[in-house]
Chains A and B, each alone.
Chain A
């Protein structure tokens, strides 16, 4: 319940058409219950997924690029197009030992595509 209230009390209510028994429609701004439930499920799923990846990066199983890609809601194919790097290379760069050896010119492409600074790209936020 808490998460649903948290994400729906953001001050940006959407409008919904509601009808009474006579079929007269009005525009109202309270969200239907079903939407709140499913939104909360998806957002909590996304957050848990991101948190898992963050831990994997800290444990040295994935590179930070993977974390930022997931954060920006991209897939490896989209990231490859955005950065101008072939998909198989992008997937290779998800391995931390290969990521550690990348040249600054390649890293700069990632920083532009993901819109993070170079310092940020080398680590993940350690909460």
Chain B
């Protein structure tokens, strides 16, 4: 936690967060005086999700997403909490950078979408070619910007040149300088209503998308693939695919166990907000689901390290994903019933 002054002298408090987009959104709201935590934003904007996308590859490995698509967390949170934001994209990099400087001079803090590969302060393990990494620019400094990246524990400096490159990447992944800042924020948002909306939306996303790659169906699809993978791909390549999945579960800013722990924190906070024992019970269920995902990643790591070859097999890893899918299906069906009883 560090404090830094924006261009107009208003203090900005930097908190470390597990995920970039929820961290940025909660920081923007907090800067305007609405005290709201990261898990709360995650729940309200129905960030929890599952999608297995074998046709999209990131460094030759298929994507399994544990959260809703980039950008939707911010958009839904803003809508449900009654925040009015200016959202802009640019064709011309020069114009994009000039407008960023102008907005910063008025004392606003600005959220940006950037490409992780091109951010100069990132290290090798964070560098994916992924164009949805969100950061906050606090103010301009000499030939650069002061940046609050919520996944990092402290504030960083970034050269203007490097930031421009990260904001405008040629090709299909171009974030086109996506930038957003507050116009006005409702100082007393309707938290209870927003929570209910978020939970209902999450249930629909997890249970009712009629495609086999999303929601709990997607988990089962992935589980089948994992079980078959050593026969289809060979042991080495199957290990790489498994490692790729574990990376999506644990790394990429999930806060552990594919956002399931973060959602459990949200359920806890919601239980306090509504004073509901059902929600507290659901939070404990979600923690158990998170533990199962963590167990899966440990089994996967043991397969990769070839420890205990007899008991740690791909079938066991796939079986754990099946278990997660069953438990999550039960969880969201319960949640649907509980949400109906809640009053905004």
Contacts and interface: CB of A to CB of B under 8 A. Distances in A.
Interface residues of A, number: 42
Contact of A23 (B117, B127, B284): B284
Interface residues of B, number: 53
A38 B261 contact: no
Contacts, number: 136
B294 to A, nearest CB: 7
A34 interface: yes
Interface string A1-38: 00000011011111111110001010101011111011
Contacts of A79: 171
Contacts of B128: 73
B153 interface: yes
Contacts of A81: 171-172
Given A23-B287, A25-B265, A78 B153 contact: no
Interface string A39-64: 10111011000000000000000000
Interface stretch (B187-195, B295-303, B323-331): B295-303
Contacts of B59: 42, 46, 73
Nearest to B239: A41
A16 B246 CA distance: 15
Contact of A39 (B239, B251, B264, B298): B251
Given A38-B243, A41-B304, A72-B129, A78 B171 contact: yes
A79 B239 CA distance: 28
Nearest to A37: B301
B125 A8 contact: yes
A72 B117 contact: yes
B279 interface: no
Given A10-B125, A16-B18, A17-B256, A42 B297 contact: no
Contacts of B305: 37
A23 to B, nearest CB: 6
Contacts of A116: none
B247 interface: yes
Interface string A61-83: 00000000000111101110111
13 contacts: A12-B151, A14-B253, A17-B261, A19-B287, A23-B284, A25-B261, A34-B300, A37-B243, A42-B61, A73-B129, A78-B173, A79-B171, A115-B165
Instruction: Sort A-B residue pairs by CB-CB distance and give the 10 closest, nearest first.
Output: A82-B171, A10-B123, A38-B243, A34-B297, A35-B250, A34-B301, A73-B129, A17-B261, A38-B246, A37-B301
Given A15-B16, A43-B124, 18 more contacts: A12-B121, A12-B122, A12-B126, A12-B152, A13-B153, A15-B151, A16-B255, A17-B18, A19-B264, A32-B250, A32-B294, A33-B298, A35-B246, A38-B297, A72-B117, A73-B128, A78-B171, A83-B170
